[in-house]
Amino acid sequence: MTASFEVKSLSILNEKGEADETLMPSLPDDDIKRIFELMVLSRTFDEAALSLQREGRIGTYASMLGQEASQIGSALAFEKSDWIFPSFREMAVYITMGYPMYMLLQYWSGDERGARAPAGLNIFPVCVPVGTQIPHAVGASMAAKYKGDKAVACCYFGDGGTSKGDFHEGLNMAGVFKLPVVFICQNNQWAISVPRRRQSASKTLSQKAYSYGFEGIQVDGNDVFAVYKATSEAVRKARGGGGPTLIECFTYRMSDHTTADDSSKYRSNEEVESWKPKDPLLRLKLFMEKKGLWNEQYQKGVEEKSKTAVEQAIRKAESLSPPEPADMFRYALKSPTPRQAKEMEDF
Amino acid sequence: MRNNHNKKECGPKGKRLITFTAAINEALIECMEKDPGVFVMGLGAPDPKGVFGTTLGLQKRFGTGRVFDMPISENAMTGVAIGAAISGMRPVMAHQRADFVLMAMDQIVNSAAKWHYMYGGQASVPLTIRTVVGRGWGQGPQHSQNFQALFAQVPGLKVVAPTTPCEAKGLLTASIEENNPVIFVEHRWLSNQMGDVPEGYYSMPLGKANVMRKGSDITVVASMDMALEAMVVADGLLSSGISVEVVNLRTVKPLDAETILGSVAKTGRLVVMDSSWYEFGVSAEIAAVVAEKGFDSLKAKVRRLGLPSVPTPTSPALAGHYYPSEADICLAIGDVLGVRLNPRKLGFKDVVGDVPDEYFKGPF
């Protein structure tokens, strides 16, 4: 028996802001503006979070700078009722799904109450261990399929995550059971200090899907239209019973791995500089300018609005009372054991 | 489901005798009938052997959507069960050997046990992981380990270890009803033990030990296979005028310190038996709790009996000396009581058999 596959790829919007009209998803002008505004808001949040960390006002933070198109373009393709399993860098996914920004800051300051998703939103807390959320998403999609509720599960991870057993085992199961799940790999070229070429000998990461019996596609991860289109199609396929898809968003981590990292020690400045013209925000701006959707005044307005929203979120997060010490015991189990109850009482 | 506790106690004898295996099977059937969110997954769940007979007939009854096999990926399988649990299901996973669960330690310890806490109390993981502990018939170092202490040490997990068929059914039902992840330890030597099991749906509370036998001279705390061994020795010591109280743990965590301390307050003496390695084990925890909270009641040193800190031997010639024998238990009791006992004269075996009964036949 011979098996063959083709590595699919998709790119719509180039660095000059020119879109391939034959591939362009149908997006009304207002939606395009909303995408741009979400990008600016996410970047404003990201910059503020980095400052807050440096000032000691939140803990270690993982910046998503440069990955806004991968995150926003994909998140827009999901319904609020879908099950989203992020890793630790997906702040723009949270923001796009409507997660309150003050709660994100609350989480990054170490307060687990910030991880309680608001009612009606099935987005899971930040998953710090690499790739362990992949089987969880598969399980959620299995439950959705069993309950027949039409929800789709989505899982985010990075290039590093594809080396984990959880990735192989989880995707294998998703393929075997033909589950409604979309895997989004943000290949940002670096897993902390390990470059993509040292992560896998596969030419693309998306081709791994074929060994699990479903389709994979590599998209330009800095092209919000390509990411949105590929994800929308994967979601439609999953909801219609067509099984899983692996989407590789080819992008770049412009920032350090986290605030605890210094990437200048292991990657060249030239490499980082070479990605700057590929910036997802820049090319969307150029596209909008050509279409008459962008001008300086609009930019200023969006920036102002974003800054105000982020400042409000910071104020709200910092005005919250710290968690009670008893919370430590309160949430270890759904109901405490007698010994825990006693420990809580004696605390 | 939680509010429907229909508690039944295990009756004295003989109303409806079924095996431990049949009791597990009944619990699964009744839980699946009661709650459509309960499903059974795991390697071998629907196969002709049906996890030592415990899952037989389930797939025929409930269909392939609720009883199914999985690819050999213990870690992802656990992760999948966690994902299903946090989105409203009550998965029951079965591992034919506790040893295989080590592949899933990351998902159990870092995810299942932590989600409720890390989610600020918003979502819990109602997941039951059945782990079968092997013993004898050459199962050796990698097919007969009991990791009860390993799991009990992790905050966020509960560890259940039934002894009788009645407990097997009631405690498995309670584990499935439980809103936290439960490691359900099933000892292979109990599979064919018969016992009186009530008909119909019932659950027994987690965290409650049971005084299996009342006595006044010494307390023996044990669980699973060791609880049955303790009962044999307690019976045999009656002729010597020694009255042994046997406390059967039922649940390792939450530990029922109250019942243990109550018994020691009465007898003043304690032997703790461990179905696993005693070093750093559950028996060590029990001894520590008594030393901390029941020191004044103690009239003598505490003794522990369990497996020596070596891998389980495969050869029956060695395994016979690996597990505590009736004679070992008798001598430990004599030691704590300060009396010289002759196990051989009392009819206690000093070498442990390699199988619990004639039904126990491999290959497994």
A119 CB neighbours in chain B (<8 A) are: none
Q: Measured between alpha carbons, how far is A215 from B43 in angstroms, rounded to an integer?
A: 27
**How far is residue A124's CA from residue A99's CA, in Å, rounded to a whole number?**
11
The answer to the question of residue A205 being in a domain is: yes
Query: Are B175 and B272 in the same domain?
Result: no
**B121 shares its domain with B36:** yes
Same domain, B114 and B70: yes
CATH of the domain at A152: 3.40.50.970
The range of the structural domain enclosing residue B300 comes to 210-337
The active-site residue out of A94, A102, A228, A257 is A257
Chain B: closest CA distance from residue A113 (Å):
5
Same-domain check for residues B175 and B269: no
Which pLDDT score is estimated for B138? 78
Residues B105 and B233 occupy one common structural domain: no
Six-digit token string for B89: 């299901």
Q: How many domains does chain B have?
A: 2
Catalytic residue among A113, A116, A198, A266: A266
Radius of gyration, alpha carbons of chain A: 21
Does B255 share its domain with B278?
Answer: yes
CB–CB contact A335 B117 (8 Å):
no
Residue B357 predicted with pLDDT over 80: no
User: Are residues B27 and B138 located together in one domain of the fold?
Assistant: yes
Residue A2 is assigned to a structural domain of this protein: no
CATH of the domain at B87: 3.40.50.970
Q: What is the mean pLDDT of residues B187-191?
A: 94
Per the prediction, chain B carries an average pLDDT of 92
Summary mean pLDDT of chain A: 95
pLDDT computed for residue B318 by the predictor? 86
Whether A100 is covered by a domain: the verdict is: yes
The mean pLDDT value for B232-251 works out to 97
Q: Where are the alpha helices (DSSP H) in chain A?
A: 29-54, 68-75, 91-97, 101-108, 133-147, 165-176, 208-211, 224-239, 269-275, 280-290, 296-319, 327-330, 338-346
- Residue A100 tokens, joined: 């309150």
Q: Does residue B169 fall inside a structural domain?
A: yes
Nearest CA in chain B to A118: B122
Residue A1 lies in a domain: no
Angle at B286 between CA B280 and CA B291, to 5 degrees: 105
- pLDDT at residue number A240: 97
Say how far apart CA B256 and CA B251 lie, in whole Å: 8
| Cross-chain Cβ contact B116/A143 below 8 Å | no
A128 in reach of chain B (CB within 8 A): no
| Number of domains chain A contains | 1
Out of A114, A132, A333, closest to residue B107 by CB: A132
Chain B residue numbers with beta carbons less than 8 Å from the beta carbon of A85 are 83
At B311-337, the pLDDT tens digits run: 998 888 888 889 999 999 999 999 999
What is the predicted pLDDT for the residue at A1? 85
| Residue B61 sits in the same domain as residue B186 | yes
Is B73 contained in some domain?
Answer: yes
Position B362 confidence tier, pLDDT thresholds 50, 70, 90: low
For residue B3, pLDDT beyond 80 = no
Domain boundary among B196, B221, B247: B196
Tokens of B237: 């010591």
- The half-sphere exposure of B194 on its side-chain side, counting CA atoms within 13 A, is 8
B10, part of any domain: no
Q: What is the pLDDT of residues B163-173, one digit of tens each?
A: 999 999 999 99
Residue B156 confidence (pLDDT): 95
Residue B293 lies in a domain: yes
- Per CB-CB distance under 8 Å, the chain A contacts of B83 are 85, 135-143, 153
Instruction: Give the integer Cα–Cα distance in Å for B25 and B50.
Output: 10
Residue in chain A nearest B254 by alpha carbon: A337
Answer yes or no: do B82 and A135 touch at CB < 8 A.
yes
| AA identity, residue B144 | S
Is B342 a member of any domain? no
Looking at residue B13, what is its pLDDT? 52
Q: Are B151 and B253 within one domain?
A: no
Pair B217, B157 in one domain: no
DSSP letter for B318, please. Answer: H
Give me the residue label for tokens 């307690």. Answer: B234
* Residue A266 known to be catalytic: yes
ipTM of this model? Answer: 0.79
Give the residue numbers spanning the domain of A163.
Answer: 8-346
Which listed residue (B116, B143, B178, B187) is catalytic?
B143
Q: Whats the size of chain A, residue-wise?
A: 347
Residues of chain A with pLDDT under 70: none
- Told to judge if B9 belongs to the known catalytic residues of this protein, a careful annotator would answer no
Within 147-206 of A, beta carbons closer than 8 Å to B belong to: 147, 153, 165-166, 168-170, 172-173, 176
Asked if residue B214 and residue B129 are part of one domain, the reply reads no
Distance CA A220, CA A279 (A): 11
Please report which helix (H) or strand (E) contains residue B292, including its range. Answer: helix B282-293
Structural contact between residues B144 and B134, judged by C-beta atoms closer than 8 angstroms = yes
Report pLDDT digits (tens) over B27-76. 999 999 999 999 999 988 988 889 999 999 999 999 999 999 988 889 99
Q: Could you tell me if residue B137 is inside a domain?
A: yes
Here the CATH number for the domain that contains residue B288 is: 3.40.50.920
Flag whether B119 is in a domain. Answer: yes
More confident: B291 or A336: B291
By C-alpha distance, which of B360, B79, B355 is closest to A169? B79
Query: In angstroms, rounded to a whole number, what is the distance separating the alpha carbons of residues B67 and B61?
Result: 9
Residue B202 belongs to a domain: no
A24 touches chain B (CB under 8 A): no
pTM of the model: 0.87
Residues of A in contact with B77 (CB under 8 A): 135, 169, 173
Same domain, B95 and B170: yes
pLDDT greater than 80 at residue B115: yes
Q: How far is A173 from chain B (nearest CA, A)?
A: 7
Torsion region of B227: left, alpha or beta (phi above 0 gives left; psi -120 to 50 gives alpha):
alpha
